Amino acid sequence: MKSLRVCSSCQAELPAEWPQTLCPKCLQARTLVATEPLPRDTTGAFVPPHPDALRGLFPQLEILGLLGAGGMGAVYRARQRGLDRVVALKILPPTFSGDPAFAERFAREARTLARLNHPNIVDVYDLGQTGQLYYFLMEFVDGVSLRQMLQAHRLTPQETLAIVPQICEALEYAHGEGIIHRDIKPENILLDQKGRVKIADFGVSKLLGAAAQAVQLTQPNHVLGTLHYMAPEQFENPLTVDHRADLYSLGVVFYEMLTGELPLGRFALPSQKAAVDGRLDELVLRTLEKDPKRRCQQASEVRTQVEAIAGVATKLSPEVSRKLSFEYRSKTTLFGWPLVHVATGVDPVTGRKRTAKGIIAMGNSPRGVIAFGDVAVGVIACGIFGYGLVSLSVVAVGVVALGSLAVGMLLAMGGVAVAPVAVGGAVFGYYANGALAWGKHPLAPGLSDPLAEKFFNPWALRVTGWVFRACLFVTPLFLALGFLPALMAKLAERRRKRRFRQTGALS
């Protein structure tokens, strides 16, 4: 019985009596790639070959598809047959194969790149030349690029401050090894399924530098790099830049992540474009200094400052972050403010308490027309500390203040009351009525001022008594409303834990 013969490239069954180890299709593809020039469009730009055309050159790989292409080459998703491992295959434009000095430079620089071993840098498994093509065989990152993330949604400050330190760690390591990226941009920053950053194409710009310089001599408007992300010195003398050029590019990416825009012309500060910590303004501006001497000098400097600004909160797990905070914002708005905004706990980005701002605001630090919370500011403010036109709080400050300690510009009622008109237990005022009264015209047991008696006539005394008794009932109610957001957050956390026990996953 004859043994089954298969193609060494695609594993397809070979025709009977076929003398070659490659099937007719793979043999034709190999001949096409090896003997004919790779396709170009009418402008002379590099057109990535079809995956079928590469199978003959890379028999050890199963080419699964094209991931992307650009001026520096094309990247394909592939599988190593022997190791059953998914990898990324990057091929360089065939124009470089015609440069006699490129082969030596490729061997020298590529060996350096292959030595880079860092969790935030894409690993290089293999490199070399086959046919007309120089290639890199690299780690495949199952995720998305930062560019895809920016196109999909606006990054939150928390996401940005989690990504930037990882970029800095990769740059810090590579710069320590004497390697400059020269093309930091969202397309070269990848994130895997667990949110870990992986930077691709480290040092490739330098590797291709001489060939790109030759192109620049014939095309004055062509400069190595990506225009809007390049440091100014890359325009003036691209072959003599140092590691600080990467820090400028990082600053551009940083600004774009925070604001969704590029820092072009007279750009606004990040805090003016988005709700971010104002301390980030100075850091971003330092990375974008045109003079390299005034720029941040090391990636570690940027990383340290970002981590200091973000605080411990950026390192908290999502479950802990949920325990520390809760937020609800109604879709209905009035005068640009949400009708209801509830915000409690710690903002994971800044490490500070969240602030609720709305027509009805509830939380630790509410600001609104009606505000309930720990420290409430509003037209009507209710909470532990209240500041407003009408304040009903434990410690109340306002035009009309009612609370345990009440300070009013007009009227104060409480255990201790201070105001022009003060009513309560121990009171201080121009007109004072209480168990203990001090002022210009006091009225108290055993103490009667004629003007005070006239001011606090029997009708006024009855009304004052009703209001005071109402305050004894209403103030605890408003205090309870002040603590309601924290209670809502606690109940939500309990529901999540119950769902976790039932389904095995936190929502």
Give the DSSP per-residue string, 403-432: EEEEEEEEEEEEEEEESSEEEEEEEEEEEE
Q: Are 125 and 162 members of one domain?
A: no
Q: Which of 99, 116, 139 is the last residue of a domain?
A: 139
Report pLDDT for 447.
84
Report pLDDT for 388.
92
Q: Which residue has the tokens 């006539």?
A: 457
3-state secondary structure of 93: coil
Range of the domain at 353: 327-419+457-495
Q: Measured at the alpha carbon of residue 149, what is the angle toward residues 316 and 157, in degrees to the nearest 5?
A: 40
Q: Is residue 1 part of a domain?
A: no
* Total number of domains constituting the chain: 3
Q: Are 205 and 71 members of one domain?
A: no
Q: Are 346 and 490 members of one domain?
A: yes
CATH number for the domain that contains residue 278 = 1.10.510.10
Kindly state the tokens that stand for 249: 């590019």
Report pLDDT for 378.
92
Q: Are 176 and 286 members of one domain?
A: yes
CATH number for the domain that contains residue 90 = 3.30.200.20
Q: Is residue 11 part of a domain?
A: no
Contact indicator for 75, 64 with CB cutoff of 8 Å: no
Contact indicator for 202, 113 with CB cutoff of 8 Å: yes
The set of catalytic residues is 183
Report pLDDT for 465.
64
Q: Are 159 and 267 members of one domain?
A: yes
Q: Is residue 463 part of a domain?
A: yes
Q: Is residue 315 part of a domain?
A: no
Q: Are 335 and 482 members of one domain?
A: yes
Report pLDDT for 397.
94
Q: Are 204 and 339 members of one domain?
A: no
Q: Which of 139, 162, 188 is the last residue of a domain?
A: 139
Report pLDDT for 325.
61
Q: Are 166 and 243 members of one domain?
A: yes
Q: Are 331 and 462 members of one domain?
A: yes
Report pLDDT for 213.
40
Q: Which of 310, 337, 368 is the last residue of a domain?
A: 310
Q: Is residue 116 part of a domain?
A: yes
Q: Is residue 424 part of a domain?
A: no
Q: Are 80 and 176 members of one domain?
A: no
Q: Is residue 73 part of a domain?
A: yes
Report pLDDT for 379.
92
Residue spans of alpha helices (H) in 378-503: 450-455, 458-503
Q: Are 107 and 151 members of one domain?
A: no
pLDDT < 70 regions, the chain:
1-5, 7-11, 14-46, 70-72, 96-101, 103-105, 107-110, 112, 203-226, 311-326, 346-353, 459-465, 467-507
Q: Is residue 340 part of a domain?
A: yes
43, 47, 53, 54 alpha-carbon torsion, rounded to 10° = 140
Report pLDDT for 477.
63
Q: Are 376 and 346 members of one domain?
A: yes
